[in-house]
Amino acid sequence: MIRIGLLAFVTSALLTAGQSPTPGGGGAPTVRVAAAADLNVVLDEVVERLARRQPSIRVETTYGSSGTMHAQLRQRAPYDVYLSADVEYPRDLIARGIGSERDLFTYAIGRIVVWVPRGSTLAIEREGLSALAGASRIAMANPRHAPYGRAAEAALRNAGIWSRVRGNVVLGENVAQAAQFVQSGAADAGIVARSLAMAPAMRGAGRFLEIPEHTHPRLTQGGLILPWAVSREATVRFRDYLLSDEGRQLLASHGFDLSAR
């Protein structure tokens, strides 16, 4: 027991030592981005391109579930801009007095696909979503709080098979975990973000079919510049780049639809 106590002490000492007092340090202004998990691949590329165009700005990204970040931002989490998978989360922050309407923006529209591993016998190409009636485990995000989960459930209802498959559904905490469930082979089909299905890790491992947009509520992805942004000017420049032709082109090439300007 003493040894366990010592271990805990050493660990906590190490953890405290690792914390840097100021994010980014001196020099170039740093934009701290709290981003939805479905942006994982595309945003890295956005940051890389931006670094070439505007070397004076540094960007730090943190990926997570939009709901968790919403809860953290309500407690003034130290981010400068919030990129949510659902515009309703930043809207809710504004309703709570955090941020203003003019700093709210929509940047993309998420799409869902049904994804199966390469060797799967499920005939998604021929039968569409109905093929999932033959799957024993279907991974999707949790519809109770994940926008992609709500869209997946709506699409299954629309296909008329929700009551048949709901007992076989396994829920990921967010859409990236749902993708991991099916990509690892633990589930035999999944309804995931098209942006994830097109990411290098999944593209070669399976095949997917797009789910028509009219079968589920639209996944409008929205963001908000936070009132406590350290460098508002750099944050605005980051947002403007994301919404520029070049930024939109990157989003489109990674599986997002574009929102109206």
Site string for other proteins, 89-108 (x = CB under 8 A): ---x----------------
Q: CA 105 to CA 30: how far, in whole Å?
A: 20
Q: Toward other proteins, which CB reaches closer, 51 or 95?
A: 95
Q: CA 143 to CA 12: how far, in whole Å?
A: 36
139 binds other proteins (CB under 8 A): yes
Maximum CA extent, the chain: 63
136 binds other proteins (CB under 8 A): yes
40's CB contacts (< 8 A; 6+ apart) are 63, 176, 195, 196, 199
Pick the stretch among 3-11, 51-59, 98-106, 204-212 that binds other proteins (CB under 8 A). Answer: 3-11
148 CA to centre of own chain: 9
65 binds other proteins (CB under 8 A): yes
Pick the stretch among 102-110, 142-150, 199-207, 243-251 that binds other proteins (CB under 8 A). Answer: 142-150
Binding-site member from 38, 86, 153, 188 for other proteins (CB under 8 A):
188
Region label for 175, one of left (φ > 0), alpha (ψ between -120 and 50) or beta (otherwise) = alpha
Q: CA 218 to CA 92: how far, in whole Å?
A: 18
187 binds other proteins (CB under 8 A): yes
142 binds other proteins (CB under 8 A): yes
Binding-site member from 23, 25, 160, 185 for other proteins (CB under 8 A):
185
70 binds other proteins (CB under 8 A): yes
How many residues interact with other proteins (rule CB under 8 A)? 28
Classify residue 179 as exposed, middle or buried by CB count within 10 Å of its CB (0-12, 13-18, 19+).
buried
145 binds other proteins (CB under 8 A): yes
234 binds other proteins (CB under 8 A): no
3-class secondary structure for 165-212? HHHHEEEECCHHHHHHHHHCCCCCEEEEEHHHHCCHHHHCCEEEEECC
Residues in touch with other proteins (CB under 8 A): 1, 3-4, 7, 65, 67-68, 70-71, 92, 136-137, 139, 142, 144-146, 169-173, 181, 184-188
